[in-house]
């Protein structure tokens, strides 16, 4: 390992399918070591992972970093949002965690919205209208379907909270991740006692919300991790807030993240409250806000279509007649939790490559539908759209986003932005800097800019028409067994 210019920090990305750890030079942003380990997600009606898999994967990823991790002075964990982790009195998981893309709580989301003043109440109180992804709906589902698990629960955590607590022994979260639970009031920045009482959740079971830049503890000596004694631990945050830190995002710049899920978001200094439920009014990890819209079906759905038609994911062909709504896991934007995929316009001359392009078009259409709602009114539409995530380097994804958005697209060269954002947060503990300023100093958003092309209004209108016409079918419950 070559000599670092400054202290080393560790940034962690505990995502849906794997955990990654980066050891980063806090002075330059250079990644000096990395590691990655997978975890599994259940199939069928639910999406669950046992939290111990995250911890085992974190330990494995850190061991792969070798001596560099031992030299690190601070660590921070970014993690998948919304997941419900229930712990017993010994801090052990009561049951596997319910993940963000588990849509079994869609009925509870509808009921909670109706029972507590409707969508406007929730948007004003928490910044968001409950969807099946939100933690509060998962707790309500658990109380209804597994009351014995609720009775055994002595602590409730989010995925990143669980890992941070395993590191420090202290139950903490941060404003970015907690804003996606549905039980944190964005107006007062405190747990909402009325909502908690309504769902029967004792606030004493919840972690303390640490402030931006706070040291939440040091790594404990009680486990075999390659950290030195006294390594500082930052609050961590949710994956989207961590990626925003990793980009050094300034207000008004739009981000489209192409991963298992797809998201569009931007930093704003105005507290969001969208009663339509399209935009989630999340907090960021710094003190501003992160209005965000999310789709459940992005790269995973497109890759599944590619596999079904036996093509490489880049083997798209142009076509104007076929429409594919790739709602393979239900959908969140638009809010259709019970939907399944829908194909319209199939002809004898339709090719497999056209079907694949239609899957890309359907996924990007969902994201672009929320982009204008995410951005502040004074945002400059000529600014490049930052394209990140696993799909961002795919030519088919890039060209589809350009064609359907009509905007220039910039693809940052930096990889693992969630882990880099966590590393920037850890570096901020050492330098006293704003983590976003740290990332800008590291120049993480640098990358090629693809010029704007004429917007394909015809395809957008066709998809919108099919979506409208098929609404009754898409809202019909689907038998998943």
C-alpha distances in Å from residue 446, one per residue of 46, 251, 387, 388, 481: 39, 17, 12, 12, 46
Distance in angstroms (rounded) separating the CA atoms of residues 287 and 307: 43
Largest CA distance in the chain: 67
C-alpha distances in Å from residue 117, one per residue of 122, 129, 132: 7, 11, 18
Q: 275 is written with which tokens? A: 């009663």
Q: 456 is written with which tokens? A: 């394909």
Please say if 239 is a catalytic residue: yes
Of 239, 274, 284, 361, which is the active-site residue?
Answer: 239
The H or E element spanning position 195 is helix 193-199
| Neighbouring residues of 460: CB distance < 8 A, sequence distance ≥ 6 | 365, 368, 404
Burial class (CB in 10 A: 0-12, 13-18, 19+), 190: exposed
Dihedral sign for Cα 39, 211, 197, 330, please: negative
The H or E element spanning position 85 is strand 85-87
Neighbour count for residue 344 (Cβ, 10 Å): 17
Neighbour count for residue 215 (Cβ, 10 Å): 13
- Cα–chain-centroid distance for residue 407? 23
Active site residues: 239
């Amino acid at each position: 390992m070559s000599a670092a210019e400054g202290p080393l920090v560790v940034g962690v990305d505990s995502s849906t399918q794997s955990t990654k750890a980066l050891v980063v030079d806090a002075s330059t942003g250079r990644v000096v070591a990395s590691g990655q380990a997978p975890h599994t997600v259940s199939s069928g009606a639910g999406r669950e992972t046992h939290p111990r898999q995250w911890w085992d994967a974190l330990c494995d990823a850190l061991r792969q970093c070798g001596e560099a991790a031992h030299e690190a002075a601070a660590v921070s964990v970014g993690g998948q949002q919304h997941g419900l982790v229930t712990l017993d009195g010994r801090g052990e998981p009561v049951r596997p965690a319910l993940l963000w893309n588990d849509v079994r709580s869609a009925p509870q989301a509808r009921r909670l919205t109706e029972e507590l003043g409707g969508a406007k109440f929730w948007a004003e109180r928490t910044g968001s209208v409950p969807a099946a992804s939100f933690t509060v709906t998962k707790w309500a589902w658990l109380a209804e379907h597994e009351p014995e698990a609720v009775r055994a629960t002595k602590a409730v955590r989010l995925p990143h909270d669980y890992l941070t607590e395993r590191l420090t022994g202290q139950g903490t979260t941060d404003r970015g991740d907690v804003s996606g639970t549905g039980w944190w009031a964005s107006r007062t920045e405190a747990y909402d006692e009325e909502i908690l009482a309504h769902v029967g959740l004792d606030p004493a079971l919840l972690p303390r919300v640490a402030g931006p830049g706070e040291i939440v503890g040091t790594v404990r000596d009680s486990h075999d991790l390659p950290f030195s004694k006294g390594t500082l631990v930052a609050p961590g945050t949710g994956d989207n807030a961590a990626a925003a830190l990793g980009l050094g995002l300034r207000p008004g710049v739009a981000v489209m993240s192409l991963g298992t899920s797809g998201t569009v978001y931007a930093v704003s200094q105005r507290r969001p409250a969208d009663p339509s439920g399209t935009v989630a009014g999340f907090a960021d990890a710094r003190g501003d806000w992160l209005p965000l819209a999310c789709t459940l079906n992005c790269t995973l759905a497109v890759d599944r279509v590619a596999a079904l038609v036996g093509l490489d994911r880049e083997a798209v062909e142009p076509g104007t007649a076929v429409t594919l709504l790739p709602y393979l896991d239900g959908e969140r934007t638009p809010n259709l939790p019970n939907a399944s995929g829908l194909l319209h316009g199939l002809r004898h001359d339709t090719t497999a490559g056209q079907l694949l392009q239609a899957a890309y078009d359907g996924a990007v259409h969902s994201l672009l539908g929320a982009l204008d709602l995410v951005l502040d009114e004074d945002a400059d539409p000529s600014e490049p759209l930052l394209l990140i995530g696993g799909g961002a380097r795919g030519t088919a994804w890039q060209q589809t986003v350009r064609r359907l958005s009509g905007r220039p697209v910039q693809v940052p060269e930096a990889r693992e932005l969630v882990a880099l954002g966590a590393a920037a947060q850890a570096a901020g503990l050492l330098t006293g800097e704003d983590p976003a300023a740290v990332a800008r100093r590291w120049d993480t958003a640098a990358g090629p800019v693809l010029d704007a092309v004429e917007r394909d209004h015809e395809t957008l209108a066709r998809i919108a028409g099919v979506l409208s016409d098929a609404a009754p079918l898409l809202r019909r419950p689907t038998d998943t067994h």
